[in-house]
């Protein structure tokens, strides 16, 4: 039973016992006059109502703290309960805020380490795919070309098909390596990397357009990487799950900072739980103090927004 009702019922029992005594052996008149009974009953009702209101006001901060404890998500920082109430309750809410600060700081530190290790591992795998697997497939292509030159016409045709399959596998390996390590981001900058990303995801079933603001403020290396990864994950979800025909990637400079938006006309997010990709986007957003929102669009589709606040504002 909640604390409010336990205290209220306990007080009610005491008041009922006092009233019963007044109406029984301890009374003003014997027998009890109707007016006296009415006065005592009205007084009891007034005391119960006053007691309920006082308890409700006194325990309201605890109820707000309970709701905050049950709904707090470290990946979605929101409003915290205000420090109010008497000394013990105010101290409890303050301790809860201190605990949240510590948990958010520890999670940000651990997430930064994990994402840094993830980027390093992506770089290593990309390098191995490019240097080892890519070179091996290139050597296989050259050998197939040499063998096909000396083979009979019937075998030459079959070798040509094997060459095309190998060439397709080599292109796929290079595409995966580019996704794991966006070299264009480090070499040509964020705008060029996002343009390349939209081109990569455009295919006969999906058209991806971009609107990139040329007047962007200076962004740090970590911020550019987060913007790129969020755009990459948003377009990946669109291509794999949304069943969309059109998508737009927008990067613009607003009064509050830099806003990245990925919008599609697919089936929307629905009631499906968030997967590892979306939670990864939220963790990356927290690393740079950005705000991430995923919302369904009124006309269908999903709208992903990442807002990076302007450090100078």
Q: How confident is the model at residue 113 (pLDDT cuts 50, 70, 90)?
A: confident
Q: What is the mean pLDDT of the chain?
A: 81
Sheet of 302-309: strand order equals 207-212, 246-253, 257-264, 302-309, 291-296
What pLDDT sits at residue 23? 66
DSSP element (H, E) containing 251:
strand 246-253
Least reliable range by pLDDT among 4-8, 23-27, 192-196, 217-221: 23-27
How far apart CA 249 and CA 264 sit, in angstroms, is 9
The mean pLDDT value for 291-306 works out to 86
Which is more confidently placed, 262 or 18? 262
The residue with tokens 């590892």 is 276
Is residue 58's pLDDT more than 50?
yes
How far apart CA 253 and CA 66 sit, in angstroms, is 39
Is residue 298's pLDDT more than 90?
no
Distances (CA, A) of 133 to 125, 130, 167: 10, 6, 12
Q: How confident is the model at residue 2 (pLDDT cuts 50, 70, 90)?
A: low
How far apart CA 167 and CA 43 sit, in angstroms, is 92
Which is more confidently placed, 127 or 245? 245
The mean pLDDT value for 7-21 works out to 75
For the chain, the structural domain boundaries read: 3-104, 182-313
pLDDT in tens, 242-295: 788 899 999 999 888 899 999 988 877 766 667 778 888 888 888 888 888 888
The fraction of the chain above a pLDDT of 90, given in percent, is 8
How far apart CA 292 and CA 68 sit, in angstroms, is 20
What pLDDT sits at residue 179? 73
The residue with tokens 């709208």 is 303
Contact present, 270 and 260 (Cβ < 8 Å): no
- Work out the angle at residue 100's Cα, subtended by the Cα atoms of residues 98 and 102, and round it to the nearest 5 degrees: 70
pLDDT in tens, 157-196: 888 888 888 888 888 888 787 777 777 777 788 898 899 8
The mean pLDDT value for 144-159 works out to 82
Contacts of residue 106, Cβ cutoff 8 Å, sequence gap at least 6: none
The mean pLDDT value for 109-127 works out to 78
What pLDDT sits at residue 56? 79
Q: How confident is the model at residue 313 (pLDDT cuts 50, 70, 90)?
A: very low
Which is more confidently placed, 30 or 198? 198
Which fold does the domain 182-313 belong to in CATH?
Heat Shock Protein 90 (3.30.565)
The fraction of the chain above a pLDDT of 70, given in percent, is 89
């Amino acid at each position: 039973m909640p604390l409010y009702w336990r205290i209220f019922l306990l007080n009610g029992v005491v008041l009922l016992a006092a009233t019963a005594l007044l109406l029984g052996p301890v009374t003003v008149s014997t027998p009890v006059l109707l007016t006296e009974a009415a006065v005592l009953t009205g007084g009891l009702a007034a005391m119960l109502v006053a007691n309920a209101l006082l308890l409700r006001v006194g325990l309201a901060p605890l109820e707000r703290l309970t709701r905050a404890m049950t709904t707090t998500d470290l990946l979605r920082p929101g409003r915290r309960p205000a420090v109010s109430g008497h000394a013990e309750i105010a101290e409890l809410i303050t301790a809860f805020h201190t605990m949240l600060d510590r948990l958010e700081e520890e999670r940000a530190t651990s997430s930064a380490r994990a994402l840094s290790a993830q980027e390093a591992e992506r770089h290593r795998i990309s390098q191995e795919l490019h240097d080892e697997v890519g070179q091996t497939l290139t050597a296989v292509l050259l050998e197939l070309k040499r063998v096909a030159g000396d083979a009979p016409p019937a075998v030459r045709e079959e070798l040509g098909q094997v060459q095309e399959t190998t060439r397709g596998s080599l292109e796929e390996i290079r595409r995966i390596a580019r996704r794991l390590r966006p070299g264009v981001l480090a070499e040509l900058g964020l705008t060029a990397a996002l343009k390349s990303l939209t081109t990569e995801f455009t295919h006969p079933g999906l058209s991806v357009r971009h609107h990139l603001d040329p007047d962007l403020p200076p962004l740090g290396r970590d911020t550019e990487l987060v913007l790129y990864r969020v755009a990459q994950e948003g377009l990946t979800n669109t291509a794999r799950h949304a069943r969309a025909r059109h998508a737009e990637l927008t990067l613009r400079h607003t009064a509050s900072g830099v806003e990245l938006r990925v919008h599609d006309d697919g089936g929307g997010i629905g009631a499906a739980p968030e997967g590892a990709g979306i939670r990864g986007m939220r963790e990356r957003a927290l690393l740079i103090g950005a705000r991430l929102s995923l919302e369904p669009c009124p006309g269908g589709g999903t709208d992903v927004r990442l807002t990076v606040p302007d450090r100078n504002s």
